[in-house]
Amino acid sequence: MATSPGNKRKHLASSPFQPEPELVIEVYAVDDKVCHDLYGVGRVVGVETHAVAVDFGSRTVRIPSPYRKLQQL
């Protein structure tokens, strides 16, 4: 029986396995300087509920959450 990604199993205290770490989603604000693995250094120009728009100089890119390749400087 497969479980859906939204349903997490409860971690038992007696389990020999470590619980899965919670996914931490970064919070960005307009004018934050960021660095992307593919596009380089840029500046946040727009913030949505599940995405940010980043100006990298040559182009503006909308990056959806979770921001795995995006780091705040």
Confidence grade of residue 6 (pLDDT, cut at 50, 70, 90):
low
Would you say 29 and 46 are in contact if contact means Cβ atoms under 8 Å apart?
no
Predicted pLDDT at 52: 93
Would you say 52 and 62 are in contact if contact means Cβ atoms under 8 Å apart?
yes
Proportion of the chain above pLDDT 90, given as a percent:
40
CA-based torsion, 28, 31, 33, 36: positive or negative: positive
For 54, list phi and psi in degrees, rounded to 5.
-125, 130
Predicted pLDDT at 21: 78
Higher pLDDT: 30 or 69? It is 30
Mean pLDDT of 5-28: 77
